[in-house]
Structures are given as structure tokens and as C-alpha cells.
Amino acid sequence: MSDHLSKQFDLELENIRTRILQMGGLVERQVSSAIDAFSTGNLNAMQQVVDTDREVDSLEVAIDEDCTLLIARRQPTARDLRLVMAVSRIVTDLERIGDKAAKIARMSQKLYATERHHFPPLSDIRHCGQLAIKMLQGALDSLARMDIDTARQAIREDAAIDAGFNGVLRQLITYMMEDPRTIGESLDIIWIAKAIERVGDHASNIAENVVYVVSGVDIRHTDDGGEKSGPT
């Protein structure tokens, strides 16, 4: 990126960026295999997602410590400071996304553990999940390339996930009204859908941080970035 007098400083900055992107890669896989396992009912994959969550947590702590050390040792300014600040915020978002993936996996385990398989149609949730994965990919790509356009694109996609979540909610409500025996399963599925919707929100946070690093403008809670619209 930029040239500093100290090559070592450059190296440390790039190192932090590489590490957070690798954590991002791990979280990406967590989300996609959780959603995959949810639609195929693969119990092994669900357990694996739950187990790997610990790895994500320890990465969060390690990268956060790297950020603190770098600020203390190098006293970065301007864009470098913004990058370090953004990374330490992004790391929290990624950890939350990891939690959501583990939650999807745990809920799916519960769902498939009961012998009754009277599931409501799941294709809409799967679609939402694909959107969320794509959005997370876009947000991480924008971080890798420091590309504002990709970041803004990812932020815009959040609206589609929210709309999808509302659709799933309406569908499940009719399903529960038709047959009250399915309320238990439907509620579990709502939790899963909600987790997917939150993945979208966190991905949007990541993209907003990228915009902040590159342009220096904080677009959180502004119309520019698209206020994280909760489902209505």
C-alpha cells in the first residue's frame, strides 16, 4: 500500500490485514457449511461448525492484541490509524458472524434431532443464506482490495436479505396458523433465519469500515451507507 521509512512497519500492517482476511475466510466457510448442513441435514458438518467456533474466538483475541501492540509501538497516523481501528472493529464483527454460524448449526442439530420431519419449505431460507454468503464475500473482497465500490455494493445487498427475512417470517406465520403442531419447529427455523439476517448486518458493518479506511468518512448510521434496517 503506502511506503513508510520503516519497511518493518509496512510489513506489520500488511500482516494484520492478511490475518484478518484469513479469519474472514474461516468465517466464510463456517457460514456456508452451516447453511449447507442446515439444508442437507448433515449432522457431522453441524458438529464441525460448532467445534470450529472456538478457533474463530481465539483468532479474535490474537488479532485484537496485534492491533493494540501495533498502536502502542508505532503510533500510526491518518490512514494507517484508520486501518488498525477498522481491523479491530471488523474482528468483532467477524467473531459475531462466527457465533451466528455456530448458532445456525446448533439450531439445525436440534431441528434434525427430532424424528418428525414436517418441515416448512426451506428454499427461501436457503436463498437468504446464499445472499448472506455472497454479501460477506463481497465485504471481505472490498477489504482485500480496499475497494469502495465493492464495499458500497455489499452494503446495498443487505436490503435484499432483510426483505427475504420478512418473506420467510410471513411464510412461517401462515404455516403455524394452518397447523399449530409445527409451531415448535417453525420457531427454531425463525431463529435460524434471524441468525442469517444478522450475518448480513455484520457483513454490512465490515463494508462500512472499509469505506471509513479508504475515504476517512464514517458512514455508520447515515443514509449513505444504508442504515442497518432491521426487519420491519
List 21, 81, 148, 160, residue binding other proteins (CB under 8 A)? 21
Give dist(CA 209, CA 220) in Å, integer: 8
Q: What is the DSSP string of 127-172?
A: HHHHHHHHHHHHHHHHHHHT-HHHHHHHHHHHHHHHHHHHHHHHHH
Site string for other proteins, 113-132 (x = CB under 8 A): -----------------x--
List 12, 16, 24, 186, residue binding other proteins (CB under 8 A)? 24
C-alpha cell at 18: 492478511
Establish if 150 lies at the interface with other proteins (CB under 8 A).
no
Contact 131, 193 (CB under 8 A): no
Establish if 94 lies at the interface with other proteins (CB under 8 A).
no
Q: How far is the CB of 187 from other proteins (least distance, A)?
A: 27
Establish if 25 lies at the interface with other proteins (CB under 8 A).
yes
Nearer to other proteins, 71 or 144 (CB): 144
Establish if 108 lies at the interface with other proteins (CB under 8 A).
no
Q: For 5, what's the count of Cα atoms within 13 Å in the CB-facing half-sphere?
A: 2
Give dist(CA 166, CA 63) in Å, integer: 35
Give dist(CA 187, CA 192) in Å, integer: 9
C-alpha cell at 190: 425463525
Helix axes 7-40, 78-113, angle to 10 degrees: 20
List 94, 111, 133, 199, residue binding other proteins (CB under 8 A)? 133
Establish if 51 lies at the interface with other proteins (CB under 8 A).
no
User: How much of the chain is helix, strand and coil, in % rounded to 5?
Assistant: 85, 0, 15
List 8, 18, 68, 92, residue binding other proteins (CB under 8 A)? 18
Establish if 4 lies at the interface with other proteins (CB under 8 A).
no
List 54, 116, 145, 221, residue binding other proteins (CB under 8 A)? 145
Q: How far is the CB of 137 from other proteins (least distance, A)?
A: 7
Establish if 29 lies at the interface with other proteins (CB under 8 A).
yes
List 22, 68, 114, 222, residue binding other proteins (CB under 8 A)? 22
Residue 196's alpha-carbon distances to 151, 162, 216, in angstroms, are 19, 10, 29
Give dist(CA 209, CA 218) in Å, integer: 8
Q: Which residues bind other proteins (CB under 8 A)?
A: 14, 17-18, 21-22, 24-26, 28-29, 32, 36, 130, 133, 137, 140-141, 144-145, 147
